[in-house]
Each structure stands twice: as C-alpha cells, then as structure tokens.
Amino acid sequence: MDEIPERLAVKPSWLITQLAMHARRLVFDGFTAAGARGYHYRILAALQEFGPASQAQLGRWCRIDRSDVVAAVNELVEHGFVDRSPDPEHGRRNRVTLTSSGLEQLRRMDAVLDQVQDDLLEPLSADDRQALTRLLSRVLAHHDPA
C-alpha cells in the first residue's frame, strides 16, 4: 500500500470511507458471481425476517428508493425468488412474498457475505470483530435519522 499523509491516516472518517469502498467491491464481486445484487439481498432478508410486505414497506425497511425496489422486485420475480400479487387489503398495492427458491438464494447470499466478512476482517481476532461491529453499530445508531 502506498504511503498516505499522516493527517488522513489518523482520521476515522477517512479510514471508514476507504474500508467501505473495499467492502463494497468485495460484496459486489461476490454477489455478481452468485448472480445477485445487493438490493436482492436486502429485500430477501427483509421478507424472510418480517414476512410479506408491500413494495413501499420494503423500500422503508431496506432503505431503497421506491423505483429501485420496483426494479429489484421485478428481477426477483423473474428468477422465482419472490411472488408479487395484489394486496387483498389494499387494491392499488402489491404484496411481495418470499418463495422457497428465494430462501435458498438468500442462504447462498448469506454464505457470500460470510466469506466477505472473513476476507475483509481477516487481520482481526473474533473478539476484535465483535468489538468493531459493536462500535460501528453504536456510531451508526447515533447518526441514523430513522
């Protein structure tokens, strides 16, 4: 790695940004190899955890813009990972449901993300990884507008 100015090397914001770019590349490459995208993972994970939902609710849970939710759900429907049908409680709304194939895809994507975590955090012990996750969660919670 090339040297960086000391002024940058001691700034957590700079370090987090550099690591985030690396993490994003690892996740993108892993998901691409699995024929998936990050939005797919977010949506499948939300459906598995919270159950069937409208596309608008998925956007809120996953922090994805509505137009991107529609595109991602369309892709997931094409692959048979989710079903989309009219919501019986609200005629103008669609209800999205996880399929058994979608659950299998979510498990494959979990394995990809587990490997990414291992690659990304390789120099850290298990205790250090837990501490880092706890600290990052605390900082994010403090700044999270939701």
Residue with more model confidence, 7 or 91: 7
Handedness of CA 115, 118, 99, 88 (dihedral sign): negative
Q: Residue 34: its pLDDT value, please? A: 86
What per-residue confidence (pLDDT) applies to 88? 84
- Cα separations (Å) of 53 from 50, 73, 107, 109, 126? 8, 12, 20, 21, 35
Identity of residue 99: T
Other Cβ atoms less than 10 A from the Cβ of 41: the count is: 21
CATH 3.30.360.10 given to domain 36-113? no
For residue 146, pLDDT over 70 is answered with: no
